[in-house]
Amino acid sequence: MAAQVQLAMPVAAVPHLPAEETTPSVDVEIASPDQQQPAAAAAPSMAVFPPAADDDDEEEAVAVLLSGEFFTCWSSLSESTDDETTRRTTTESMFYIPMNGNNDVGRRRRRRKVRSWSRGSFLGRGSFGMVFEGITNEGVFFAVKEVYLDDQGRYDDAQQCIFQLQQEIALLSRLQHNNIVQYYGTDKEDSKLYVFLELMSQGSLASLYQKYRLRNSHVSRYTKQILNGLIYLHDRNIVHRDVKCGNTLVHRNGSVKLADFGIAKEINKFSVLKSCEGSVYWMAPEVVNPKRTYGTAADIWSLGCTVLEMLTRQLPYPNLEWAQALFKIGRGEPPAIPKYLSKEARDFISQCLRPNPDDRPSASKLLDHPFVNRSVRSIMSVMTS
């Protein structure tokens, strides 16, 4: 069966979560990326991951959400105060946050239950709803995605959106890595669902390269961190399927983290990937080909496109409409790599963009590439000179 692709007009970039919007379907499913970029959207996936949270209460809460009965089961979990900007969580185990705002995974067990929180400034529109800054009554900041469960369009579309959101929550609750955005918890109030996430104050890499011309040293450092996140995922047989600058968020300390796991999927001998899902300009050839299955190597192709995007400050296939780009990708034609890029950068991107997925290096292998280690070598040369 042919993959469904959705056309979406570009929308304004969201500082903490990539912007998406639902649009009428045609033949092929695509979500819009960050500001000033052509439409390229993510198609919903149909996989659900079992929760594996740190705490029994949190695991039970996610299980309730996944049960399909959360419309009624969640009705008693929270209540509003007189101030509409303040939300009080009555089920304390639902919402944990690191003490002192420290998101170091090594210290994750030192977490505190949040009894109340206040909604702050509007950050933008993310997948499924609006994104706000939030603050606990102890002064710790976080991001909160506010989803209107009754406002997701037609019934079939609504069920699909909710299913995709369930999948993202279930997967994020299992992941603990310094280069993956941290999930804190979930709460519901009437027809609103709140998803609490780590606040990434500098927005996405897409918004960053629109403001600054990134140097090779910047891109090298960011690439190394993305690779570390991918190694963590791939070691667990999880394919992200939508790696790009718009889905990589930047912390104020300069660290970057993979985000937006709405179409990520776990693969095993009983589950293979065949659906054409992701953002068109970053899709690997095997993803576009309906006759082929694919795996973690698809993320490596997307990483090559992401590095190219950071260094050139434009999308892969920059002069092509999405349909033209899709045609070239299906034929195994990688985007052009400008000659003005450094030799190491060109070689790194070329290795990622090998048409045959079996020829692409793994994320672990790419971690040893000279382009990724250039900043370390530069520091060592200064120390020994």
Residue positions in the annotated binding site for ATP?
A: 145
List 196's β-bridge partners, or say none: 144, 185
Q: What are residue 80's phi and psi, to 5 degrees?
A: -95, 150
Q: Is residue 151 annotated as part of the catalytic site, yes or no?
A: no
In the annotated binding site, the residues are 145
| Strand-pair partners of 204 | 249
Integer angstrom CA distances of residue 18 from 13, 123, 253, 259, 342: 6, 11, 20, 9, 29
Give pairs for 363-368: CB < 8 Å, separation 24+. 363/227, 363/230, 363/231, 363/234, 363/296, 363/299, 363/300, 363/303, 364/231, 366/227, 366/300, 366/303, 367/224, 367/227, 367/228, 367/231
As given in the structure block, the two tokens for residue 250 are 């930047």
Tokens encoding 124: 């933008």
Handedness of CA 73, 75, 76, 77 (dihedral sign): positive
Ramachandran angles phi, psi of 305, nearest 5°: -65, -35
3-state helix, strand, coil in the chain (%, to 5): 35, 20, 45
DSSP code at position 314: S
**Contact at 8 Å (CB) between 103 and 71?**
no
Residue with tokens 């990937």: 273
Q: Which of 34, 187, 242, 299 is catalytic?
A: 242
The first and second tokens of residue 191, run together, are 């027809």
Alpha carbon distance 197, 189 (integer Å):
17
CA dist., res. 139 & res. 137, Å (int): 6
Residue count (the chain): 385
Distances in Å between the alpha carbon of 341 and those of 223, 319, 325, 364?
15, 19, 22, 23
Q: Which residues does the annotation mark as catalytic?
A: 242
